Structure 1
Amino acid sequence: MRSNRPYVQIDPDVLERARQIDLLSYLKEFEPGNLVKVKGTSNVYCTAEHDSLKISNGKWYWWSRGVGGYSALDYLIKVREYGFVEAVEILTGQAFADWKPPPAAEKKDEPKVLLLPPKNRNCDRVVQYLFGRGIDYQLIQDCISEGIIFESADYHNAVFVGKDESGTPKYAACRGTMGSFKRDASGSDKRYSFRLLAREPCASVHLFEAAIDLLSYATYLKCEGKEYKAENLLSLSGVYQPKKEIKDSKIPIALTTFLDAHPEVTTIYLHLDRDKTGRLCTETLQELLEKDYEIVDDPPPVGKDVNDFLLSYLGIERPKPARERRDAR
């Protein structure tokens, strides 16, 4: 359906109105027969044509093709394959001439729904990937059994799941086992990042930038004859970005959520990267937290991150990135 029409200048106001139209509103108006509510959910939809195209939380993602977006304009271009001008004309027709986005307060009140990618029938590629990064084999199997690590069926990504205090999945980080792909699953709640909690109440927590670093540290503890289940291990939902002025920075929401739920914690160990960003994050967190907690700066003694240190400790050469398939997203 792509158009070969010549360049057309679109009025900025018209274009902005088109960009504001969400996909759910569009489908209800123009393709109601193509809109299907996903069973067992309150506000997750898919399309009859593409059951792997999920719509939730004001966003959509087509899992089988690895494309997504926020608006109906994105959908018409990426899924329907209309030209840009044609897509804008469709969205600014009479049916949507007076369309207005819902009030911001309504969107804010809608509960997030985590859209996990479909699970593969086994986790062979993820196990191979993590084991190649030096992660303890039994630790990997324990996490798989607990349901906090699995392999996606579409692109065989490693999926690291974060659960809330009741054990309900609320967050998922998808990481490529080939290449450098990284994406949080739609609807992820960054308050509940990937973590391994102590079996018994513990007065400390160890903080890491990524799930791989967390698992690397747990492996290191096992190698040293220590019990990793005696410690609270918490990863952040991506790299923490402090403000230029430390006083204007906020504590990562994953950490504040954990600390609120565990008032027994008095000591925080920071195992952040040794690069410029990691050191800045460490400095910022030390200043923000030192009034209420004992802060221990414990970066990896070797390499950029904890996984680099683990590989050096085990005498394993860091795996070279596998060539990424073009269709892997």
Structure 2
Amino acid sequence: MSEYFSEELIAQAKETSLTQLAEYYGYHPRHVGNRLYTLAEHDSVRIYNDRTWYRWSRAGNGKESGGSQIDFLMQFCGVESVHAAIQTLLEFQGISVEDRQWKNTLNEKAAIHQAGEIKPREHAEFVLPEAMPGTYRRAYAYLIKTRGLSQQIVDYFVRDLKILYEEKEHHNLVFLGKDKDGIVRYATKRGTADIYGKKYRGDVAGNDKNYGINIVNEKSTELKVFEANIDLMSYMDIKGDFESNKLVLGMTADNPLVQFLKDHPHIKKITFCMDNDEAGMLAMFGNEEKAGLLKKYEMQGYETDTDTVPQGIGCKDWNEYLIYKKNGQDIGRTEPIENHQVEYSRKRKCR
């Protein structure tokens, strides 16, 4: 392991927030004590200090399994090797493995560098997965039947915007993020098989994480910002909003937002439509140590606002609310979700 990744990179990988990582892969962490979390989907799991976890056996009092973020990816997220897990963690933090590893190599081999030229490694080639020929039956079935979206919205993303298709090999959804010239710079995949207990999310190798999935309308000066692609689609289905500019961060960090505003200076107002959970509220409202996105962009001269799911009905994000609103069905929570929006709004006013 250490022959490929430096000790510095391995240590950096283990700084990843385990609760945010779990949410990224579709799980729902629940606060059950002081700095202690479990997963709604696996109530035998305990996450300690946001960095390590254990899974307690139902058959007895002994520990069944556990470990670091690396072990979590391999046990719960379908990552097949330690090597792949470390790279996934670094990419989740927005760190270019190739660049960081190359810098370490230069430091370690300075004498060799002086004696002769060392050429840096090339970045992974950005190649989009091959599309499924014909109709995207698996993608449509998953988005409409499992995620509750209307065919109109799916058609809009597939046929009109051309930023969504079904991958041929694994039938994953592939979402495309384009730059201001319409060139695809970023692509992310979402599995369609989680109805069978499998969850998969991952970015296409070689993509540029300064870009996100976006919809541009030069006639509108408002930008609405989301964490996840299906939440954006759900929001449009609920609100019927085809007018505003929209951006999916794919995370709570704002690199894609910085790039979008640079490329599209017509934006005057930013509305954050992020999740009603600890990570989403912290990103929007911040805390005593760090300003949130609302304050950050307000200080840059933008009008800022929030638009989150209604409180008190147990929905964390816009897709859960869509399912709740359309079907009135139980979304799988055993306890009401905490009202994070009220808590963080109060903290913001008190600062």
SS of structure 2 residue aligned to 1:229: coil
Aligned residue in 1 for 2:275: 273
Aligned residue in 2 for 1:282: 284
**What amino acid does structure 2 have at the position aligned with 1:154?**
E
Larger Rg: 1
In 1: Cα distance, 2:213 partner to 2:118 partner: 29
Closer, same or farther: CA 262–318 of 1 in aligned 2, 3 Å: farther
Which residues in structure 2 correspond to 1:281-300 (within 5 Å)? 281-283=283-285, 284-291=292-299, 292-300=301-309
**What amino acid does structure 1 have at the position aligned with 2:294?**
Q
The answer to whether the 8 A contact 2:231-2:319 is kept is: yes
The answer to whether the 8 A contact 1:197-1:229 is kept is: no
Cα deviations by residue, 1:284-309 (Å, 9 ceiling, x for unpaired): 11121111211102211151001111
The answer to whether the 8 A contact 2:323-2:331 is kept is: no
In 2: Cα distance, 1:318 partner to 1:103 partner: 62
In 2: Cα distance, 1:264 partner to 1:103 partner: 45
1:309 to 304, 321, 333: 321
In 2: Cα distance, 1:178 partner to 1:301 partner: 28
Closer, same or farther: CA 66–120 of 1 in aligned 2, 3 Å: farther
The answer to whether the 8 A contact 1:171-1:190 is kept is: yes
In 2: Cα distance, 1:140 partner to 1:178 partner: 18
Higher relative contact order (CA closer than 8 Å, sequence separation 6+): 1
Closer, same or farther: CA 255–66 of 1 in aligned 2, 3 Å: same
1:158 to 173, 176, 179: 173
Aligned residue in 2 for 1:236: 249
**What amino acid does structure 1 have at the position aligned with 2:184?**
P
Identify which range, 294-303 or 181-190, moves more after superposition.
294-303
Closer, same or farther: CA 316–159 of 1 in aligned 2, 3 Å: farther
2:229 to 198, 211, 218: 211
SS of structure 2 residue aligned to 1:307: helix
User: Given the alignment of the two structures, is residue 147 of structure 1 paired with residue 162 of structure 2, yes or no?
Assistant: yes
Aligned residue in 1 for 2:258: 256
**What amino acid does structure 2 have at the position aligned with 1:295?**
T
The answer to whether the 8 A contact 2:123-2:206 is kept is: no
The answer to whether the 8 A contact 2:324-2:331 is kept is: no
TM-score normalised by L of structure 1: 0.59
Cα deviations by residue, 1:150-185 (Å, 9 ceiling, x for unpaired): 111121111111111121111111111112211011
In structure 2, runs of 5+ residues without a counterpart are: 7-77, 88-110, 286-291, 333-351
The answer to whether the 8 A contact 1:120-1:152 is kept is: yes
Aligned residue in 2 for 1:114: 126
Aligned residue in 1 for 2:220: 202
1:129 to 142, 148, 152: 142
**What amino acid does structure 1 have at the position aligned with 2:4?**
R
SS of structure 2 residue aligned to 1:150: strand
Aligned residue in 1 for 2:57: none
Shift of 1:134: 2.1
SS of structure 1 residue aligned to 2:262: helix
Aligned residue in 2 for 1:193: 212
The answer to whether the 8 A contact 2:226-2:247 is kept is: yes
2:184 to 169, 172, 179: 169
Shift of 1:216: 0.7
Aligned residue in 1 for 2:347: none
**What amino acid does structure 2 have at the position aligned with 1:234?**
L
CA RMSD of aligned residues (A): 3.2
Shift of 1:316: 4.8
TM-score normalised by L of structure 2: 0.55
In 1: Cα distance, 2:328 partner to 2:278 partner: 25
Shift of 1:140: 0.9
SS of structure 1 residue aligned to 2:242: helix
In 2: Cα distance, 1:273 partner to 1:68 partner: 31
Shift of 1:114: 2.0
In 1: Cα distance, 2:79 partner to 2:162 partner: 23
Shift of 1:218: 1.0
In 1: Cα distance, 2:176 partner to 2:270 partner: 22
The answer to whether the 8 A contact 1:193-1:235 is kept is: yes
In 2: Cα distance, 1:299 partner to 1:196 partner: 19
